Structure 1
Amino acid sequence: MQRALSGHSRIAGLEVYLPPARLDTAAVERRIEESSPGFRVPKGLIGRVTGIRSRSVMADTEQASDLAANAAAKVLAECGLQAPDVDLLIFASASQDMVEPATGHMVAAKLGLSCPVMDVKNACNSFLNGMEVADALIGSGRYARVLVATGESPSRAVRWSVPDFPTFASSFPGYTMSDGGAAVLLEAAVGPGEADGAAAGIVATAFTAKSSHWSVGTLAAGGSAFPRDPEASYFAMDGEKLKDAFLDLGSELLDETLEGLGLSWTDFAVVCVHQVSAPYRQIFAEGAGVPPGLLVNSVEEFGNLASVSLPLQLKLAVDSGRAGPGDLVALVGLGGGVSLGMAVVRL
């Protein structure tokens, strides 16, 4: 477990970009059947198991960096900033344009930035870890303004041609995924010696992992293990084992973080939780003791957006008036590998 009191940076801007093309779950089932002679998806199965009705799909001409750059450009415009105002760009995503170079370079080039860049990668917790890194760097005095951006392109790794049910089951996570981008601008919260517990900023971050579960969900292509194997270019996951791995993480990290801050879930305006499906959202919330009314339901209409899930939920909460200046919000992330993370933020 790793937990740190922060308060070095605040969220100055937050934006999300979702490609306009939509794909509903019935269309997903039809496409599998059209691409898989001899195999039929049990009608309505994907919707019943996941609760997902629709998802976003990027254009053939778009890359993960485009999704991130679109969201980041919106943030810069919202904050009235120009390229020279950004000190560091962190691309924090499960997706990438290519193995080399870092996708952050592509995002920076599309935004016209000339600042340093880096990639932070930890499956669906990438964006949360990116915020943690940015907060620490701002706290150290290294940078004053950091742009954290993600672009998730999982539609490129979906297996549509399915020979049998076991292959369909192992490829199932791909049918829940959605494309999108998000960006957050973090900047120094207060001057030295001016820290105030009620001031806007990242109050605390906490992370834990049980890496012995890494093999239950993979997208293996492109690395040293499977550099050119086409079969490794699709999602492969054991859904039940992944659920068990997440349950194995427990909720101690969350409990200890709240206790250390003297908080309970009811102190938050909203609790944003990474959502792989509607049923698992409920299972996780019940296990962690999160009141259902604090959740921001997103997976039904937007699908599993990987690392974009948390910033999307926060954006939905702010835009709907459920959270605003002065409110405490919690971001709770789950990522393959597996890992659990939490950020407590005062808006």
Structure 2
Amino acid sequence: MFSADRVLPVPPPYGVVVLPPRRARLLSNAVHLPPQYRTMEQVRAGMVAAGSPFVPPPGTLENLTGVRGVHVRSDDVQASDLAVAAAVKALETAGASIGEVDLLLFASTSQDLVEPATGHIVAAKLGATCPVFDVKNACNSVLNAVETAAAFIETGRHRTVLVACGETTTLTTRWHVPDHETFMRHLPGYTVSDAGAALLLAAGPAGPEDPGVLHAVFAADSSAWEACTVLSGGSMYPRSTDDDHYCLRLNENQLSRTGREMARLVVEYAPEEMALVRESAFVAVHQISMPQFHEACTLLGLPRSRFLATVDRYGNAASASLPLQLALAQQSDRVMPGDVVALVGLASGFSMGLVLIRL
């Protein structure tokens, strides 16, 4: 006799093929940095050349941020070009062709145009014919794109996904500074760096020790959206010529307070994932300055040896920051196949994300 507390397996409908569990495997990760390098002293010289009423004393930028210089694109290089350069490297490293990619995601704070999606421009330059769309969530854009790609792969919607990023954030640097208060409000714009990044993910088996994206956890406090902004280019200020609208600006008190709260929430409400973070071989965390990097290490409660500081040499590479750290760790053999790495993202808006990947 049938018992109500006994659950019987339900066979799939006739003709439906049940796929085995799949995991999004990271086949390759690549970064492209434009060759031009701008030191913080050259930033000061740029303010002088712009006739800025306020120019900080020598060493101020280095002392406040711990950043020595940033990479800067040439005037004729677009966000899509940086993304394409990194994507070509990622495909070559994986031994794959663009024809094998069945979804392309452009993930970046930057873009070539308001319309169309920059992903189409990247696809055209690569010769891709697959579907494309943009993923945009400030400096968590790449991390959210990895989450999106993993979800598509795990459900069988796509097999191979290329995430491409092109950051041209030096366009948000403010050169004409009327006073010290304005300088401090726009301080993050002096340490942002242009960069390209690309990650190629493909379907693989999902066994206990198989490589791939293991976990993805995200949280947001959107009431803090004004903490860090670039105002122009949207419906609020579509054609503004005000420097305050075109340049990156920061409400540091709000950003710091919200960042600490978001970190606390992730630590408290994602205990399983945080346990894996503590056991991981390497932790990449979004970096906007050296003081913020040290604070992030402290908040995560892990030794500095598990991290890699990059913002001092390369500046804040926005959403390319995490791929950059992972690429440098891979190049220096700090991580090996089979290692679990944690990518911890922080973004204005305000959002925080954590993705765990077994290489």
TM-score band (shorter)? over 0.9
For the Cα contact (< 8 Å) 1:7–1:203, is it kept in 2? no
Partner of residue 241, structure 2: 230
Whole-angstrom distance in 1 between the partners of 2:52 and 2:67: 25
Q: Which residue of 2 aligns with 1:206?
A: 217
Q: Are the aligned partners of 1:330 and 1:345 in contact in 2 as well (CA < 8 Å)? A: yes
Q: Which runs of structure 2 are paired with 1:318-333 in the superposition (5 Å)?
A: 318-333=330-345
Moved over 4 A (4+): none
5+ residue gaps, structure 1, are: 1-5
- Larger deviation, residues 101-110 vs 248-257: 248-257
What is the number of residues matched between the two proteins?
337
SS at match of 1:97: coil
Cα distance between partner residues in 1 of 2:344 and 2:267: 8
2:109 matches 1:94: yes
Look up the match of 2:358.
Answer: 346
Matches within 5 A, 1:295-314: 295-314=307-326
Equivalent residue, structure 1, for 2:265:
252
Deviations 1:266-314 (A, max 9, x none): 4111100000111111112112212211011100100000000000000
CA contact (8 A) 1:57 1:179 kept: yes
Q: Percentage identity across aligned positions?
A: 43
2:277 and 2:356 mapped to 1: Cα distance?
A: 11
How many angstroms apart in 2 are the aligned matches of 1:64 and 1:261? 33
Contact 2:32 2:196 in 1 (8 A): yes
TM-score, normalised relative to structure 2: 0.91
Residues 1-347 of structure 1 aligned to structure 2 (within 5 Å): 8-190=23-205, 195-231=206-242, 232-257=245-270, 259-261=271-273, 263-347=275-359
Superposed CA deviations along residues 150-201 of structure 1, whole A, max 9, x for unmatched, are 10101112111112122212211100100000000000021xxxx3121101
CA-atom RMSD, angstroms? 1.5
Cα distance between partner residues in 1 of 2:269 and 2:61:
36
- SS of the residue 2:284 aligns to: strand
Separation in structure 1 between the aligned mates of residue 264 and residue 356 of structure 2, nearest angstrom: 15
- For 1:255 and 1:318, the matched residues in 2 are separated by 30
Cα shift at 1:251 = 2.7
Return closer, same or farther for 1:13/1:102 CA change in 2, 3 Å cut-off.
same
Distance 1:7 1:174 in 2: 41
Change in CA separation of 1:46 and 1:36 when aligned onto 2, cut-off 3 Å? same
Is contact 1:17-1:67 (8 Å) kept? yes
1:180, 1:99 → 2: CA distance? 20
Kept in 2: contact 1:53–1:301 (CA 8 A): yes
Asked whether the 8 Å contact 2:53–2:177 carries over to 1, the reply is no
Q: Is the 8 A contact 1:254 1:342 kept in 2?
A: no
How far the C-alpha of 1:220 sits from its partner, in A, is 1.2
Rounded Cα–Cα distance in structure 2 between residues aligned with 1:203 and 1:293: 23
Residue type at the aligned position of 1:230 = T
Q: Distance between the aligned counterparts of 1:255 and 1:184, measured in 2? A: 30
Shift of the alpha carbon at 1:37? Answer: 4.1
Code of the aligned partner of 1:251: R
Displacement of 1:342? 0.3
Distance 1:254 1:55, change over 3 A: same
For the 8 Å contact 1:265–1:291, the answer to whether it is kept is no
Tell me whether 334-343 or 227-236 shows the greater mean CA deviation: 227-236
1:297 match: secondary structure = coil
**Do the aligned residues in 1 keep the contact of 2:22 with 2:153 (CA within 8 Å)?**
no
Q: What is the CA-CA distance between 1:264 and the residue it aligns to?
A: 4.8
CA–CA distance in 1 between the matches of 2:194 and 2:74?
Answer: 10
Checking the alignment, whether the CA contact within 8 Å between 2:218 and 2:353 is kept in structure 1 is yes
Q: Deviations over 1:326-346 (max 9, x none)?
A: 001000000001101000110
Larger Rg: 2
Long gaps (5+) in structure 2: 1-20
d(CA) in 1 for partners of 2:283, 2:158? 29
CA separation in 1, counterparts of 2:124 and 2:53? 46
